[in-house]
Amino acid sequence: MRTGEARLASAHVTTVRLNASDSGSVETDALVVGINTSPDGPRPAPGAQALDAAITGGLAPTLHALGFSGKAGEIAKFPSFGAVPAPVIVAVGLGDAPAEDGAHDLETLRRAAGAAARSLAGTAGAAFALPAATPGQAEAVALGALLGAYDFTRYRTGDEHKAPLQAITVLSDAPGAEGSVNRAATLAESVTLVRDLVNTPPSDLSPARFAEIAEETASKAGLSVEVLDETALKEGGYGGIVGVGQGSVNPPRLVRLGYAHPEAETTVAFVGKGITFDSGGLSLKPSASMAWMKSDMGGAGAVFGALLAIARLGLRVNAVGYLCLAENMPSGSAQRPSDVLHTYAGKTVEVLDTDAEGRLVLVDGIARAGEDDPDLIVDVATLTGGQIVALGWRTCGVMASDDELREQVVEVANAQGEAAWGMPLPDELRKGLDSPIADIANLNPERSGSMLAAGIFLREFVPEGVRWAHVDIAGPAFNKDAPYGYIPKGGTGMITRTLVALAERHQAGREA
């Protein structure tokens, strides 16, 4: 099973495998079991029965003595004292038990597995005996554990940090579970790559270096790769990308990734904002807002990771990805407020604020994506502070050319555990983007509704007749707080899995 060959910044790789053994007999360094809450106290969830039977008096008295209730994400560790081969037991809370004959929620399983895996840093291997009676549950456990074991270690020189969990075994005898666990490994590989890219300092991830990584990694996965450098961008009329990148000594790039399947009936195009560092340009950000702007390429990272997973999963769909890469810096050559850019779509844009730069690189990518004759374009970007104001740090905003598509994207994202909320595109906000000298201004000076106004700006550049969705991940792409569930501190890899799931919904033989 492939276990992270594309992990280019972190030295550690966690492996995963499937085992049909039960919790009472598996040989491992640590055994993870799920616990539900109940009116009578903590109750072992499916998967923990063999362990419960092996411990004198059962699990409940021990957990009660530890003050463990079974609430979601709660962790308790204790020795097995030889009751089972595993020397250490890790109980992880799953919250309320599902209704009779109901299944545990997949996101609950992902988060529980992730929390348990993170608590096992420094452990060589662990078996996860969480509820996994179906292939979907087995995949959720594997994916959560793999993502929870993530740690970005490239720049650490000391040995005070424990190494992440090295090997994961998912205990399940569900028919078809092996394929599901393999799928989890592929998805985790892509999300890990995105997290590594987001966490990499901008000194080591210029637009050119990002493009090199894309070329090296994508070609191995069977993707076609085209890279436009600064000269090709100028000659090709990509005024948005050129304008944003002209202030930096690190010139911009546009990367096109392509995947084709002989049975495909549909083409999906994904466009990602890839600002490898955003100072705000001449409209300089406050230093506190600039400190985490290495994450401003999270949209391009998600598109890159999704294309890799689509190719490795062999989905019956055609997919293209555009990585719109630039570094937004102030200098004597930087674009100025009041400059007018000539975009790839042919429209002119008056730049009122150089810190509203993400939309400028995206419109060139969106217009270029139209040449691939896609059935759907989805752009992903850490685009606006307005998204954080409106929806917080964990929920992305989704806008679209029609309500049905918007709700489909929201539904798919939430099913992956990537929280999303549908937002409108009010027509009355378009007037605020009027420019007296160009076709459109790059932002509305009135800041209210800024997330929505940014979506309306992008909509102006979508090729006629193509369905389009915009996903603003400004907050969710980077977790500035403590880890939770399977989400680490730092880069999250947000929306990578949603893009893959959208491609799956457009496979040949499936109704979109």
* CATH (domain of 47): 3.40.220.10
Sheet holding 348-350, edge to edge: 340-342, 348-350, 440-441
Instruction: For residues 215 and 300, state if they share a domain.
Output: yes
Ramachandran sector of residue 449 (left: φ over 0; alpha: ψ -120 to 50; beta: rest): left
Among 115, 139, 173, give the residue marking a domain's end.
173
Domain extent for 395: 193-505
Is 312 a catalytic site residue? no
Is residue 423 within 8 Å of 454, Cβ to Cβ?
no
Please report the pLDDT score of residue 263 as a whole number. Answer: 96
Are 244 and 156 members of one domain?
Answer: no
Same domain assignment for residues 19 and 144: yes
Whether 153 maps to a domain, the answer reads yes
Indicate whether 201 and 338 sit together in one domain: yes
Task: Report the candidate in 226, 225, 244, 323 with the shortest Cα–Cα distance to residue 282.
Answer: 244
Model confidence pLDDT, tens digit, residues 68-107: 999 999 999 999 999 999 999 999 999 999 987 678 999 9
Residue percentage of the chain with pLDDT more than 90: 91
Contacts of residue 209, defined as CB under 8 A and 6 or more positions apart, other chains included, come to none
- For tokens 């250490």, the residue is 88
pTM of the complete model beyond 0.85: yes
DSSP code of residue 487: B
- Does the annotation mark 285 as catalytic? yes
The torsion angles phi and psi of 259, rounded to 5 degrees, stand at -135, 130
Shared domain check, 501 and 352? yes
Residue 4 has pLDDT above 60, yes or no: no
Provide the angle, in degrees to the nearest 10, between the axes of the packed helices 298-313 and 207-220. 10
Is 375 a member of any domain? yes
DSSP codes joined into one string, 205-222? --HHHHHHHHHHHHHHTT
The 10s digit of each residue's pLDDT in 423-432 is: 999 999 999 9
The reply to whether 296 sits in an annotated binding site is: yes
CATH of the domain at 260: 3.40.630.10
User: 403-415 and 496-505 are packed helices; what angle lies between their axes, rounded to 10 degrees?
Assistant: 120
162 and 309 co-located in one domain: no
In a domain, 512, yes or no: no
Claim to verify: residue 129 and residue 245 sit in the same structural domain: no
Q: How confident is the model at residue 508 (pLDDT cuts 50, 70, 90)?
A: confident
pLDDT 10s digits, 475-492: 999 999 999 999 999 999
Q: Quick one: pLDDT at residue 125?
A: 96
242 in the same domain as 158:
no
**Count: domains in the chain:** 2
The DSSP bridge pattern shows strands 396-400 and 467-472 to be antiparallel
Q: 329-354, pLDDT tens digit by residue? A: 999 999 999 999 999 999 999 999 99
Active-site residue identified among 154, 285, 430, 489: 285
Instruction: Choose among 277, 32, 354, 378: nearest CA to 172.
Output: 32
- Final residue belonging to a domain, choices 122, 139, 173: 173
Q: Verify that 441 and 500 share a domain, yes or no.
A: yes
In this structure, the answer to whether residues 222 and 111 fall within a common structural domain is no
pLDDT band at 3 (very low <50, low <70, confident <90, very high): very low
Q: Which residue has the higher pLDDT, 6 or 117?
A: 117
The answer, yes or no, to whether residue 510 has pLDDT greater than 80, is: no
Asked if 20 and 149 sit in the same domain, the reply is yes
144: closest CA among 45, 34, 36, 68? Answer: 34
Domain boundary, last residue among 129, 144, 173: 173
Phi, psi (degrees; rounded to nearest 5) at 105: -60, 135
Q: Which amino acid is at 411?
A: E
357 annotated ligand binder = yes
User: Do 158 and 235 reside in the same domain of the chain?
Assistant: no
Residue 355 assigned ligand-binding role = yes
